[in-house]
Each structure stands twice: as structure tokens, then as C-alpha cells.
């Protein structure tokens, strides 16, 4: 039923709870776990000049660390895993990744928010993913 499971990550503790569920689901269905981190282009765009490249590089490093943590847990559980760090708007990139990679279900936490969202209260990435995704989205509190 589920062959490809996407776990978007922002590296927060909230992802750990969602990952627990995703790993159980993947194990039950012998599915591949996909870990995705989105470098929020809005943050990078807001910081121009000399700081821009440094900020983007730092966010990409954070992303690599976050997807590696998901990959480590999936591999410890004996599951296949794919990782990706992309640039863009988080909700848009998550939905696009799910469509492009043939994802069967997205498992994420509604509690993690990007730094920009914490500042501006733009709403939840998970809410927008749930609204726009063409596959089921499990929101794990």
C-alpha cells in the first residue's frame, strides 16, 4: 500500500515524533523512507549581499545534518532511505517532491516551523502541505 514515505525535516525535535511513526509505517510496508529538507528561499532572499551566500551555505549544512539524522534512524531500522536537500518554499517543494518521486504518504509534524514563520506567523507549512498534496498527509503531534 505504501512503497514510498516522505518525511520532511527541519531538524527539530518535532520531527523525531513524526519519524517514529514513519519508520513503523515503512517497516510494516517494506517501504523506502525519503528525508527532505528545504532551504527556505525566502530567508535567503531577505538577506542580500555578502551574508546571502553564507546564510544559504549554513542552511544547506543544517539540511544535510537533518536528513542524515533521518537516514541514520531509517538505516538502523533496516530500511532503504533517500535524502534530498533542495531550495525553495517549503510547502511547495514538499508537495512537488511528493509528486515527482511517486510518494505514497507524507508523514510530518505540524509543530516545526521555519524561522521566518516563527517571526511572521505565516501559518503552518504542514497545513499548506495537507491542503495541496495529492497523497495522504499524516500530521503527528
Render pLDDT for 53-71 as a digit per residue (tens, 0 to 9): 788 889 999 999 999 999 9
Q: Tell me the C-alpha distance between 116 and 11, whole Å.
A: 15
pLDDT in tens, 111-138: 765 554 444 444 589 999 999 999 999 9
Q: Tell me the C-alpha distance between 48 and 122, whole Å.
A: 21
Q: Tell me the C-alpha distance between 28 and 32, whole Å.
A: 11
Mean of pLDDT over the chain:
89
Give residue 125's domain range.
4-139
Write the CB contacts of 136 (distance below 8 Å, at least 6 apart in sequence): 104, 105, 106
Looking at residue 121, what is its pLDDT? 40
Domain CATH for 132: 3.40.50.620
Q: Tell me the C-alpha distance between 108 and 98, whole Å.
A: 13
CA distances from 23 to 6, 34, 59, 81 (A): 10, 11, 25, 10
CA distances from 105 to 12, 87, 97, 100 (A): 20, 22, 12, 13
CB-based burial, 83-103: b 16+ in 10 Å, e otherwise:
bebbeebbbebbbebbeeeeb
Residue pointed to by grid coordinates 514510498: 4
Domain count, the chain: 1
Looking at residue 44, what is its pLDDT? 65
**Span 72-79, average pLDDT:** 98
pTM over 0.85: yes
Amino acid at each position: 500500500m505504501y512503497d514510498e514515505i516522505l518525511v520532511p525535516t527541519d531538524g527539530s525535535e518535532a520531527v523525531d515524533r513524526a519519524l517514529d511513526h514513519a519508520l513503523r509505517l515503512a517497516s510494516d510496508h517494506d517501504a523506502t523512507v525519503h528525508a527532505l529538507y528545504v532551504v527556505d528561499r525566502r530567508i535567503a532572499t531577505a538577506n542580500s549581499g555578502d551574508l546571502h551566500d553564507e546564510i544559504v551555505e549554513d542552511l544547506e549544512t543544517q539540511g544535510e545534518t537533518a536528513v542524515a539524522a533521518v537516514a541514520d534512524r531509517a538505516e538502523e531500522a533496516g530500511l532503504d532511505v533517500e535524502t534530498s536537500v533542495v531550495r525553495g518554499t517549503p510547502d511547495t517543494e514538499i508537495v512537488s517532491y511528493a509528486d515527482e518521486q511517486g510518494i505514497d504518504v507524507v508523514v510530518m509534524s505540524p509543530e516545526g516551523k521555519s524561522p521566518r514563520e516563527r517571526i511572521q506567523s505565516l501559518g503552518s507549512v504542514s497545513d499548506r502541505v495537507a491542503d495541496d498534496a495529492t497523497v495522504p498527509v499524516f500530521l503527528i503531534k
